[in-house]
């Protein structure tokens, strides 16, 4: 493999991995705090982008370059949609299930139902098989022809470099927030012992809701970075969720750095597999990694992890 081509493939894989890392960050954050796997999380990524596109462009979006005002509106509405949709999933599904102490099956059924509802609602308004979405950040205009030159006479889309940098910065800011803020301390307290946290004046319900909101914001950022420049179906969120789950499990559920590292590893492996073995094999990489890691190292901290679930302090 030519060194220039290899660099292109690696940078593309790292950019894809940075997006997966953001989704895995939210996945791991919710799973580590609530001890449940957020099955609707991948759907939130695409739903936030599609809801914003419906509000700004209607039911026939195009990938054409947007003017300033529509771009800003699309960006802000995407972030707002991620927050709102994730908050609704928490308020309507997760918190009631926890308060009623429905157990793991109740959480799982609720999460799957939420994902299916998001997909069905979007499919009603966007019935076509695939859509091309615009870029609210207008990244392609940052370089002539939208390309950056690489050593060895290679080129890479400027979008790849920007997605990689923005994804890593967003992940670093999230880790800093959770490591140094009172909110992060509250999240760790509820994750370790929700009953003890409640006795100390920390509301597990509020922390759990705030955790979902942060995960939704990360999902929206991932959607803003990942959706432009490709044909997308409303059903693609399910596969994205599985890819993010593989990254989160690979890095260790509850580990923020691990989630980002897992995303980068999955993205890079996918890119290399796609280049050498074909796109079909690349799509199987996250699933193979997920099954392999679960077989060797089942994730701790979930409902079977032995710790008390948040429902113990929400009743």
Rounded CA-CA distance 72/66 in Å is: 9
Domain ranges of the chain: 21-314
- Return per-residue pLDDT of the chain as tens, 315 residues: 567 788 888 999 999 999 999 999 999 998 888 777 788 888 999 999 999 999 988 887 777 777 888 889 999 999 999 999 999 988 888 777 666 665 666 667 777 888 888 999 999 988 888 888 888 888 888 888 778 887 767 788 889 999 999 999 999 999 999 989 999 999 988 888 888 888 888 888 899 899 999 999 999 999 999 988 788 888 888 888 889 989 998 888 888 889 999 999 999 999 999 888 887 888 888 888 888 888 887 665 443 334 444 544 554
Percentages of the chain per state (helix, strand, coil), in multiples of 5: 75, 5, 20
Give the pLDDT score at 239. 87
For strands 154-157 and 147-150, give the pairing.
antiparallel
Per the DSSP assignment, residues forming a β-bridge with 147 are 157
Rounded CA-CA distance 220/63 in Å is: 18
Give the pLDDT score at 221. 96
- Residue linked to tokens 């699933």: 287
Where does the chain show beta strands of DSSP type E? 131-132, 147-150, 154-157, 231-232
Q: Which residues have CB under 8 Å from 206's CB, separation 6+?
A: none
């Amino acid at each position: 493999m030519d060194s220039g081509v290899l660099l292109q493939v690696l940078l593309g894989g790292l950019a894809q991995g940075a997006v997966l890392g953001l989704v895995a960050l939210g996945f791991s954050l919710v799973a580590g705090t609530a001890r449940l796997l957020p099955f609707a999380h991948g759907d939130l990524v695409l739903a936030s982008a599609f809801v914003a596109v419906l509000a700004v462009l209607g039911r026939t979006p195009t990938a054409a370059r947007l003017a300033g005002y529509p771009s800003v509106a699309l960006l802000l509405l995407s972030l707002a949609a991620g927050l709102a949709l994730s908050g609704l999933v928490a308020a309507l599904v997760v918190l009631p299930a926890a308060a009623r102490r429905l157990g793991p099956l109740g959480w799982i059924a609720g999460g799957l139902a939420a994902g299916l509802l998001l997909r069905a609602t979007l499919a009603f308004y966007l019935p076509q098989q695939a859509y091309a979405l615009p870029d609210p950040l207008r990244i392609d205009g940052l370089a002539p022809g939208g390309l950056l030159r690489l050593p060895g006479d290679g080129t890479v889309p400027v979008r790849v470099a920007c997605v990689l940098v923005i994804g890593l910065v967003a992940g670093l800011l999230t880790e800093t927030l959770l490591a140094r803020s009172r909110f992060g301390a509250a999240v760790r307290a509820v994750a370790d012992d929700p009953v003890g946290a409640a006795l100390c004046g920390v509301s597990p319900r509020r922390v759990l809701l705030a955790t979902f909101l942060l995960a939704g914001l990360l999902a929206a950022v991932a959607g803003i970075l990942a959706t432009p420049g490709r044909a997308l179906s409303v059903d693609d969120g399910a596969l994205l969720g599985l890819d993010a789950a593989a990254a989160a499990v690979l890095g260790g559920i509850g580990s923020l750095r691990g989630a980002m590292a897992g995303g980068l590893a999955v993205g890079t492996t996918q890119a290399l597999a796609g280049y050498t073995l074909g796109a079909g094999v690349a799509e199987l990489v996250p699933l193979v990694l997920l099954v392999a890691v679960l077989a060797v190292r089942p994730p701790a901290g979930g409902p079977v992890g032995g710790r008390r679930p948040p429902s113990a302090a929400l009743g």
